[in-house]
């Protein structure tokens, strides 16, 4: 690795202990933010130890939202060979968090899975890349992991690469990655830091925070040859001084390296809290980063970030958005949509109250939506809850409730329109009913020859041609935009007859060929109803809300004012 030593990138590893779901992604993004405040060029890698090549085939209820990138990566497990290519644009939801905090559009190669690493190892062995060697976890698998990380840091000329390892220390499947971290720490002395995020629970019975789970987690980490440089304690309230002292004592780190991460009403405030505790300066000293000249930028400037936080804190009115869907068993299923709604509302002085309606056959859709100022019909796949979603779109048309349908939600809006206004009884998507007499939603032409499920949809960012004098054009004020897609099925234009147009159906955008409808809307002066095949939420930022979500919330606010 002689050439790699010329690379001056610093590496910050983020691991988690005690339990999953304690906010490692937000911590990683917040560490990146405090480094951006110092003008360092940074990026993030997320390691997911599962054996899937990417999370594209995972149920959102099991793993949360699937984030879509701008680019589609042609992953070739064995470079310079005739081995097949895997197209990847579906990556872990934490990249949404990184993007919103850091203003970065990261390449899908930044999401490393065990599936990718083992594919590279096994297919490489079959191609003769390890001739004469007994292929083993150490050194062969760990070397592949290290090479991926070094390649990213070098190609992007980074000052710092943050690497978050998914799961919890002690998980069997993450051991290969933690071993790679251990080796990098040895190979690059004074240029690495290990940040360990642990849970510090509060015991109601004794009325105090407890450090024992963190102590056990650190011991588990140490048994793998790793000692944390910084402990970040996730808790309901700021860490008490005696708890900081105890964690410091048992973790062999200074008390100043024990950082508090309490519950916050505005999650984007965490970088400021880290700054107050001196985390940025401590990290820079540890990995020998010299201060840079700070230039103005709304994304990386500290004072601008403070101003933005104040926008969220000062929002003092509430707007209620109904979200009928099928993946509400966990809160992360639609996290980018939730955040895009929050961004758009905060910049208009409002907080969002999201009414997540987990549809079933027994759901009274009208009753559930009656107190909502707007309806967002969510993305998804498959047959379950579809009729309830179609009823939700019909309710929006009847009651003239502001409506935004995203992807599957836009398709079902079209189904509802065809049934309600064109009399096409039984109209449906062929995904839901292959024998429907009116296949108003059907497979894209490019999808009709596709057999495999993974990485085979229409993915990534595509150019969109927007029709003037539409609600979509009013939102973006641009003839051409780029947004991200993830779909196999699309709206069939042959059902948009003169009758459909007279009853208000408008095609507001298409792809460059003109053959794929990218969005529809109703031509009503007194009703904002839009459906997009694309996902504008993936580009929404806390300092720059999605323009389409902004106009949707604006219509909801107008509707609410009219009802009062």
| Token pair for 9 | 């990138």
The one catalytic residue in 275, 343, 535, 556 is 535
The one catalytic residue in 66, 372, 407, 418 is 407
Backbone angles phi and psi of 563, in degrees to 5: -85, -20
Q: Cα–Cα distance between 540 and 536 in angstroms, integer?
A: 7
Q: Which of 24, 45, 18, 165 is nearest to 110 (CA)?
A: 45
The one catalytic residue in 110, 284, 537, 556 is 537
Q: Which of 382, 440, 455 is nearest to 87 (CA)?
A: 455
Is residue 343 part of the annotated active site? The answer reads no
Is residue 110 part of the annotated active site? The answer reads no
Contact 395, 342 (CB under 8 A): no
Q: Which of 49, 28, 4 is nearest to 178 (CA)?
A: 49
Strand partners, 482: 463
Is residue 407 part of the annotated active site? The answer reads yes
Gyration radius from the chain CA atoms: 25
Q: Which residues contact 399 (CB under 8 A, 6 or more apart)?
A: none
Ranges of beta strands (E only) in 247-349 are: 258-262, 317-325
The secondary structure element, H or E, covering residue 126 is helix 114-126
CA 497 distance to own-chain centroid: 38
Backbone angles phi and psi of 273, in degrees to 5: -65, -40
Q: Cα–Cα distance between 42 and 38 in angstroms, integer?
A: 11
What single string gives the DSSP state of each residue in 221-240? HHHTT---SEEEEEESSPPP
The secondary structure element, H or E, covering residue 365 is helix 365-369
Q: Cα–Cα distance between 34 and 100 in angstroms, integer?
A: 14
Q: Which residues contact 95 (CB under 8 A, 6 or more apart)?
A: 44, 46, 67, 69, 106, 110, 111
Active site residues: 407, 535, 537
């Amino acid at each position: 690795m002689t050439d790699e030593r010329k690379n001056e990138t610093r590496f910050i590893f983020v691991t988690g202990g005690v339990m999953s779901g304690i906010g490692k992604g937000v911590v990683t993004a917040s560490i990146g933010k405090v480094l951006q405040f110092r003008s360092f060029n940074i990026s993030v890698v997320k390691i997911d130890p599962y054996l899937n090549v990417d999370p594209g085939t995972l149920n959102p209820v099991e793993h949360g939202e699937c984030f879509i990138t701008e680019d589609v990566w042609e992953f070739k497990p064995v470079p310079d060979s005739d081995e097949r290519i895997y197209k990847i644009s579906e990556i872990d939801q934490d990249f949404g968090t990184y993007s919103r905090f850091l203003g970065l559009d990261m390449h899908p190669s930044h999401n490393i899975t065990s599936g990718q690493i083992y594919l590279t190892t096994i297919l490489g062995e079959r191609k003769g890349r390890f001739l004469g060697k007994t292929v083993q976890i150490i050194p062969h698998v760990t070397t592949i992991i290290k090479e991926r990380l070094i390649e990213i840091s070098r190609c992007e000329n980074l000052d710092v690469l943050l690497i978050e390892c998914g799961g919890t220390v002690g998980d069997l499947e993450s051991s290969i990655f933690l071993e790679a971290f251990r080796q990098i720490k040895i190979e690059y002395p004074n240029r690495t830091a290990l940040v360990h995020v642990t849970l510090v629970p509060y015991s109601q019975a004794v009325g105090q925070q407890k450090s024992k789970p963190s102590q056990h987690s650190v011991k588990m980490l140490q048994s793998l040859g790793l000692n944390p440089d910084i402990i970040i304690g996730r808790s309901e309230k700021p860490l008490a001084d005696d708890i900081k002292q105890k964690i410091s004592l048992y973790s062999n780190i200074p008390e100043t390296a024990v950082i508090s991460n309490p519950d916050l009403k505005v999650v984007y405030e965490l970088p400021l809290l880290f700054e107050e505790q001196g985390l940025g300066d401590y990290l820079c000293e540890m990995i020998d980063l010299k201060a840079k000249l700070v230039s103005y930028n709304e994304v990386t400037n500290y004072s601008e970030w403070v101003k933005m936080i104040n926008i969220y804190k000062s929002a003092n009115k509430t707007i209620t958005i109904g979200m009928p869907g099928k993946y509400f068993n966990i809160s992360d299923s639609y996290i980018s949509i939730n955040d895009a709604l929050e961004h758009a509302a905060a910049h208009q002085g409002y907080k969002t109250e999201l009414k997540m309606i987990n549809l079933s056959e027994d759901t009274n859709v009208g009753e559930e939506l009656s107190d909502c100022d707007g309806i967002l019909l969510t993305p998804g796949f498959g047959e379950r809850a579809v009729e309830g979603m179609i009823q939700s779109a019909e309710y929006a048309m009847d009651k003239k409730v502001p409506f935004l349908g995203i992807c599957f939600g836009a398709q079902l809006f079209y189904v509802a329109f065809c049934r309600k206004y064109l009399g096409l009884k039984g109209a449906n998507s062929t995904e839901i009913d292959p024998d429907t007499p009116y296949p108003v939603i059907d497979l894209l032409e490019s999808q009709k020859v596709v057999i495999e499920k993974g990485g085979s949809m229409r993915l990534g960012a595509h150019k969109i041609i927007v029709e003037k004098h539409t609600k979509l054009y009013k939102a973006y004020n641009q003839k051409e935009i780029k947004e991200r897609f993830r779909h196999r099925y699309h709206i069939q234009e042959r059902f948009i007859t003169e009758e459909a147009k007279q009853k208000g159906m408008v095609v507001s955008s298409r792809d460059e060929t003109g053959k794929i409808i990218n969005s529809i809307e109703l031509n009503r002066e007194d009703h904002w109803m839009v459906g997009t095949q694309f996902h504008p939420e993936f580009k929404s930022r806390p300092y720059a809300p999605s323009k389409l979500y902004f106009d949707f919330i604006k219509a909801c606010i107008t509707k609410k004012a009219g009802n009062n």
